[in-house]
């Protein structure tokens, strides 16, 4: 029995949104005392040389520039951590009602702790994040998950965070900003637009299935979680390793003003051609944060992306169609991504997989999940994307294009226990699967 009903949790979020002061307004870079354009380095940075910086990045093939864009460069690894404890035999997660400056709806349900290294080492002279000591002393508790996972590689340059879940068996003081929730409740709340944030979703996607396999109600999904005789991993690794070995594209960081198609216009750094995002600057006041007033750049999405995971039941076992997805800022060239991963500026019709997905989505046939979910509000401004899980008959795709693989749930769960194998879009879609 959960400590709080879902209705009580929703009421708590509503009340927090009503009472916590938030003020976020767009400014120009020149209006920000803390941020400036570093002429020598060619990037936008914070004056104390921490936090992150915005640089240019170019993709080269055969010595020629084939693509270019700004990227967020943040070499430090932060904590995305959840504390868990059993109440009446049921696992509960201590979750936070957190406001990030880019959140479209202010408060979203976040991990127990969500802090960059600059935050928790107090480089900005702010307060130490609550519950930090549990994670600094993780070896004193039962470590359920501890993985370093990638962030959005279309926006970040080789950025990763530490996804960690600890189970404790002691009384923990619960701040007004936090509440205990079950995993089942969190999955239910993920069906609400923009309520459970990206950081919570990526951490929960890492849960080892052996901890929860008996709770899976869908028989086909449960058999998938138990695994099959077919071992698809060698085939997946062979494709990925060939790409890493033989792909000739290279990426380099450059001055922002070396980006030929990007310019500062009306206080925003924008592309002169249609592009999936632009760089804006904001003045931010948020009550209850470690630092309560600051300015910073944010990447603002232009339109809404679509992330789709296709599933099928074959011989009583649920399988998932994933795709090896290279991305510009990926730590190691490419990771496994969802079936469909495309920005709002994508122009179809695409391959046979894309066409089949679009046809099902248009008719609603087989769609079991279709929700707008936010991306990381600490770096992205009002970015919400359409997340879809869609079931088809496996015979509808008799031949897969290169780079696509049908795999069971166990294989994906095994891979998420390894650094840098599943990208964040796929991890987020795995998190919303209802057991």
Which tens digits make up the pLDDT trace of 253-300?
999 999 999 999 999 999 999 999 999 999 999 887 778 899 999 999
Tens digits of residue pLDDT in 15-70: 999 998 889 999 999 999 999 999 999 999 999 888 899 999 999 999 999 999 99
* DSSP code for 273: S
344 confidence band (pLDDT: 50, 70, 90)? very high
Beta carbons within 10 angstroms of residue 313's beta carbon: 18
Mean pLDDT of the chain: 94
* Position with higher pLDDT, 287 vs 118: 287
* pLDDT higher than 70, residue 411: yes
Q: How far apart are CA 103 and CA 174, in angstroms?
A: 24
Beta carbons within 10 angstroms of residue 344's beta carbon: 16
Please compute the mean of the pLDDT values over residues 4-24 and round it to a whole number: 94
Beta carbons within 10 angstroms of residue 229's beta carbon: 4
Could you please state the CATH topology (level 3) that the domain comprising 219-249+304-431 is classified under: Nucleoside Triphosphate Pyrophosphohydrolase (3.90.79)
Please compute the mean of the pLDDT values over residues 301-321 and round it to a whole number: 97
* Position with higher pLDDT, 290 vs 6: 6
Answer yes or no: are the C-beta atoms of 209 and 225 closer than 8 Å: yes
Please compute the mean of the pLDDT values over residues 248-252 and round it to a whole number: 95
Beta carbons within 8 Å of 185's beta carbon, 6+ residues apart: 2, 6, 9
* pLDDT higher than 90, residue 417: yes
pLDDT score of 25 = 95
125 confidence band (pLDDT: 50, 70, 90)? low
128 confidence band (pLDDT: 50, 70, 90)? confident
Using alpha carbons only, what angle is made at residue 338 by residues 337 and 344, rounded to the nearest 5 degrees?
100
* DSSP code for 397: -
Beta carbons within 8 Å of 190's beta carbon, 6+ residues apart: 196, 201, 371, 373, 431, 432
127 confidence band (pLDDT: 50, 70, 90)? confident
Q: How far apart are CA 264 and CA 185, in angstroms?
A: 44
Task: Give the distance from CA 44 to its chain's centroid.
Answer: 24
pLDDT score of 117 = 75
Compute CA distances 317 → 150, 214, 225, 391, 395, whole Å: 29, 16, 9, 13, 14
Please compute the mean of the pLDDT values over residues 232-241 and round it to a whole number: 96
* pLDDT higher than 90, residue 305: yes
* pLDDT higher than 70, residue 156: yes
Q: How far apart are CA 179 and CA 29, in angstroms?
A: 37
pLDDT score of 68 = 97
Answer yes or no: are the C-beta atoms of 281 and 37 closer than 8 Å: no
* pLDDT higher than 70, residue 135: yes
Annotated domain spans of the chain = 219-249+304-431
* pLDDT higher than 60, residue 216: yes
118 confidence band (pLDDT: 50, 70, 90)? low
pLDDT score of 120 = 63
Beta carbons within 8 Å of 322's beta carbon, 6+ residues apart: 309, 336, 337, 338, 339, 404, 405, 407, 412, 426
């Amino acid at each position: 029995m959960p400590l709080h009903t879902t209705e009580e949790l929703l009421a708590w979020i509503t009340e927090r949104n009503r009472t916590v002061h938030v003020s976020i307004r767009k400014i120009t870079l020149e209006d920000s005392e803390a941020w400036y354009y570093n002429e020598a380095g060619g990037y936008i940075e914070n004056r104390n040389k921490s936090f992150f910086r915005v640089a240019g990045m170019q993709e080269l093939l055969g010595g020629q520039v084939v693509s270019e864009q700004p990227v967020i460069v943040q070499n430090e690894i932060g904590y995305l951590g959840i504390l868990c404890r059993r109440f009446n035999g049921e696992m509960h997660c201590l979750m936070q009602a957190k406001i990030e400056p880019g959140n479209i709806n202010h408060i979203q349900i976040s991990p127990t702790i969500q802090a960059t290294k600059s935050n928790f080492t107090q480089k900005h002279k702010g307060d130490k994040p609550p519950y930090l000591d549990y994670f600094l002393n993780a070896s004193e508790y039962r470590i359920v998950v501890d993985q370093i996972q990638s962030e959005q590689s279309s926006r970040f340059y080789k950025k990763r965070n530490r996804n960690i879940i600890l189970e404790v068996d002691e009384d923990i003081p619960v701040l007004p900003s936090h509440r205990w929730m079950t995993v089942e409740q969190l999955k239910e709340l993920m069906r609400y637009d923009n309520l459970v944030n990206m950081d919570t979703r990526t951490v929960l996607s890492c849960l080892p299935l052996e901890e929860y396999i008996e709770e899976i109600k869908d028989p086909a999904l449960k058999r998938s979680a138990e695994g099959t005789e077919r071992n698809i991993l060698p085939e997946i690794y062979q494709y990925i390793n060939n790409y890493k070995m033989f792909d000739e594209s290279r990426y380099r960081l450059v001055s922002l003003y070396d980006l030929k198609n990007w310019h500062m216009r009306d206080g925003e750094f924008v592309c002169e051609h249609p592009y999936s995002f632009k760089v804006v600057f904001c003045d931010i006041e948020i009550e209850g944060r470690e630092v309560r007033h600051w300015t910073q750049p944010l990447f603002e999405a232009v339109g809404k992306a679509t992330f789709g995971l296709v599933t099928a039941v074959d011989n009583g076992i649920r399988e998932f169609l994933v795709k090896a997805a290279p991305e510009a800022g990926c730590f190691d060239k490419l990771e496994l991504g969802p079936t469909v991963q495309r920005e709002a500026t994508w122009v179809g019709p695409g391959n046979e997989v894309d066409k089949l997905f679009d046809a099902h989505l248009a008719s609603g046939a087989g769609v079991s999940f279709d929700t707008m979910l936010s991306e990381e509000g600490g770096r992205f401004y009002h970015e919400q994307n359409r997340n879809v899980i869609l079931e088809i008959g496996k015979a509808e795709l008799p031949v897969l294009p290169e780079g696509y693989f049908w795999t069971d749930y166990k294989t994906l769960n095994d891979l998420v226990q390894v650094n840098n194998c599943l990208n964040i879009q796929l991890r987020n879609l795995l998190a919303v699967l209802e057991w």
